[in-house]
Amino acid sequence: MKRVVNAIILDKKRERVLLIKRIGGIHFNKWAFPGGIVERGESDEDALKREIKEEIGVKVSKIIKKIGDYEYSRENNEKTIGTSFLVSLENEEINMDKSEVAEVRWVTIEEMETLDCAPGIEEEAMKSIYEK
């Protein structure tokens, strides 16, 4: 079983969410939240901070709250359990890792509906934007 974490990052007006287009992995060529696999002995929070720094080159300033848990099976039927967190960044100067990320984009919920996104992320984005 794998454990993953994802960061939901909103712009300062809380109108748009940051998405990355993945180069490889289970969500290849799909839009998703930044994040990744929790390594052995690592807390969810530490993994989240590490993955965000690796993928988009920005430090997490605060993990605001947990948004939700989910699970899915990988191609080899291995179960994956994940958690999404609403986070804030130290700044919005994105420096993506081009070996993992093809593109980074700030999008509205309406724009998300037109993109090929990883399953379930629209609902988590809506929870983050509309629930206090």
CATH C-level class of 2-130 = alpha beta
Residue 8 scores a pLDDT above 80: yes
Q: Which residue shows structure tokens 């180069």?
A: 23
Domain range summary for the chain, segments of one domain joined by +: 2-130
Residue 132 scores a pLDDT above 70: no
To which H or E segment does residue 21 belong?
A: strand 17-22
pTM of the model: 0.90
pLDDT at res. 66 = 95
| Joined tokens for residue 124 | 């988590």
Per-residue pLDDT reduced to its tens digit, 40-66: 999 999 999 999 999 999 999 999 999
pLDDT at res. 91 = 86
Provide the β-strand partners of residue 1: none
Per-residue pLDDT reduced to its tens digit, 81-131: 999 999 999 988 899 888 889 999 999 999 999 999 988 888 899 888 887
